[in-house]
Amino acid sequence: MSSLEIAVQALGMMLEPTRLLFLSLGVVCGVVLGIIPGIGGLSGVALLLPFTFGMDPYTAFGFLLGLAATTATGDPIPAILFGVPGGAGSAATVLDGLPLAKKGEAGRALGAAYMSSMLGGVFGAILMAALLPIMRPVILFVGAPELLAFAVFGLSMVAILAGKSPLRGIVAAIVGILLSLVGSDQQGASLRWTFGTLYLYEGVPLVPAVLGLYALPELCDLLISRTAIAGSASKSKGSGMLEGAADCFRHWWLVLRCSWLGAAFGAFPGIGGSVIDWLAYGHALKTERGARETFGKGDIRGVIASESANNAKEGGALVPTVAFGVPATASMALLLGAFQIHGLTPGPAMLTRHLDVTYSMVWSIALANILGAGLCFLFSSQFAKLATLRYTLILPTVLSIIYIGAFQESRQWGDIYTLLIFGVVGWTMKQLKWARPPLILGLVLGETIERYLFISVERFGDSWLTRPIVMALFGLALLGFLSPLYRSLRKRMAAGRPIAFQGVHFRPSQLVHVFLIAMLLFGLSEVPRWNESSRIVPVILGTIGLVFVILSLVADLLRPSEAEFDSDEIHMDLESDTGHLENRVVVLRAGIFFGWLIGLTISMAVIGLIPSIPIFVILFMRAEGHERWRLVLPQAIGITLFVYVVFVRIMHVPWPPTLLGYLVPALKFIPST
For 320-344, how does the pLDDT look when each residue is reduced to its tens digit (9 = 90+)? 777 766 666 667 766 777 777 777 7
pLDDT classification of 438: cutoffs 50, 70, 90: confident
Q: Which candidate, 91, 80, 107, 399, places its Cα nearest to that of 242?
A: 107
Of 139, 140, 170, 167, give the one whose Cα is nearest residue 157: 170
Q: pLDDT band at residue 482, thresholds of 50, 70 and 90?
A: confident
Continuous segment of H or E residues that includes residue 183: strand 183-184
> Has residue 501 got a pLDDT over 60?
no
pTM over 0.85? The answer is no
- Got the DSSP string for 217-274? HHHHHHHHHTS-S-S--TTTTTTTHHHHHHHHHHTHHHHHHHHHHHHHHHTSTTS-HH
pLDDT of residue 311: 79
CA distances from 217 to 36, 176, 433, 588 (A): 18, 18, 13, 14
| 531-540: long-range contacts, CB 8 A cutoff, minimum separation 24 | 531/185, 531/188, 531/189, 531/190, 532/188, 533/185, 533/187, 533/188, 533/454, 534/185, 534/187, 534/188, 534/189, 534/190, 534/192, 535/188, 537/181, 537/449, 537/450, 537/453, 538/178, 538/181, 538/192
419-441 core/surface letters (b: 16 or more CB in 10 A; e: else): bbebbbbbbebbbbbbbbbbbbb
SS percent in the chain: helix, strand, coil, step 5: 75, 0, 25
pLDDT single digits (tens) 253-273: 999 899 888 888 777 665 656
Q: Within 10 Å of residue 6's Cβ, how many Cβ atoms?
A: 16
Q: What is the C-alpha separation between 477 and 282, in angstroms, rounded? A: 13
Angle, helices 391-407 vs 583-607, to 10°: value is 50
Q: Given pLDDT bands bounded at 50, 70 and 90, which one contains residue 363?
A: confident
Q: Is 414 exposed, middle or buried (0-12, 13-18, 19+ CB in 10 A)?
A: buried
Average pLDDT rounded to a whole number, residues 199-206:
86
Q: For the purposes of burial, counting CB atoms within 10 Å of the CB of 86, is it exposed (0-12), middle (13-18) or buried (19 or more)?
A: buried
* 611 or 323, which is more confident: 611
Question: What average pLDDT does the structure give for the chain?
Answer: 80
Comparing C-alpha atoms, which of 418, 90, 470 is closest to residue 281?
A: 90
Contacts of 120 (CB under 8 A, 6+ apart): 255, 258, 259, 262, 307, 308, 309, 310, 311, 312, 369
What pLDDT, on the 0 to 100 scale, is given for residue 567? 45
Spell out the alpha helix ranges (H) of 36-90: 40-48, 57-74, 76-82
Whether 94 contacts 574, CB under 8 Å: yes
- The residues, ordered by sequence, that sit 6+ positions from 81 with a Cβ below 8 Å of its Cβ are 98, 101, 106, 229, 383, 384, 386, 387
When mean pLDDT is compared across 5-14, 181-190, 227-236, the lowest value belongs to 227-236
**pLDDT 10s digits, 504-548:** 777 777 888 899 999 999 999 988 888 888 888 899 889 999 998
- What does the pLDDT read at residue 500? 53
- What is the Cβ-side half-sphere exposure of residue 71, based on CA atoms within 13 angstroms? 25
- Lowest mean pLDDT: which of 21-25, 94-98, 498-502, 648-652? 498-502
Own/partner pairs for 527-530, CB < 8 Å, 24+ apart? 529/190, 530/185, 530/188, 530/190, 530/192
Nearest to 268 by CA among 233, 306, 318: 318
pLDDT > 70 fraction of the chain, expressed in percent and rounded:
82
Angstrom CA distances, 491 to 282, 285, 623, stand at: 21, 19, 52
Q: Which amino acid is at 360?
A: S
Between CA 387 and CA 491 the distance in angstroms is 40
Instruction: Please compute, for residue 57, the number of CA atoms within 13 A of its CA located in the half-sphere on the CB side.
Output: 20
Cα-Cα end-to-end distance for the chain: 59
pLDDT of residue 86: 65
Weakest mean pLDDT among 124-133, 238-247, 285-294, 565-574: 565-574
Contact assessment for residue 441 and residue 156, using Cβ atoms and an 8 Å cutoff: no
Q: How confident is the model over 137-179, as pLDDT tens digits?
A: 666 677 788 878 877 877 776 656 665 677 788 888 889 999 9
Q: Answer yes or no: are the C-beta atoms of 250 and 265 closer than 8 Å.
A: no
pLDDT of 234:
43
Strand partners, 191: 184
Q: Can you tell me the mean pLDDT for 487-495?
A: 66
Number of H helices, E strands in the chain: 29, 2
Question: Is the confidence at residue 53, as pLDDT, over 90?
Answer: no
Beta strands in 101-167 (DSSP E): none
> What is the bridge-based pairing of β-strands 183-184 and 191-192?
antiparallel
> Among residues 42, 89, 57, 11, which one has the least CA distance to residue 362?
11
* CB distance 517 to 174 below 8 Å: no
Rounded to whole angstroms, the Cα distance separating 639 from 609 reads 12
Closest of 370, 376, 356, 365 to residue 335, by C-alpha: 365
Name the strand (E) or helix (H) holding 51: none
Cβ(14)–Cβ(365) below 8 Å: no
In angstroms, the CA 523 to CA 195 distance is: 11
Contact 298, 103 (CB under 8 A): yes
Share of the chain above pLDDT 90, in %: 14
Residue 635: its pLDDT value, please? 92
Element (H, E) at 209: helix 206-210
Q: Determine which of 292-296, 488-492, 616-620 has the lowest per-residue pLDDT on average.
A: 488-492
Amino acid at 519: M
| pLDDT exceeds cutoff 70 at 555 | yes
Query: What is the band of 598 on the pLDDT scale with cuts at 50, 70, 90?
Result: very high
Calpha distance 477→239 (Å, rounded): 42
* Nearest to 219, CA basis, from 33, 93, 78: 78
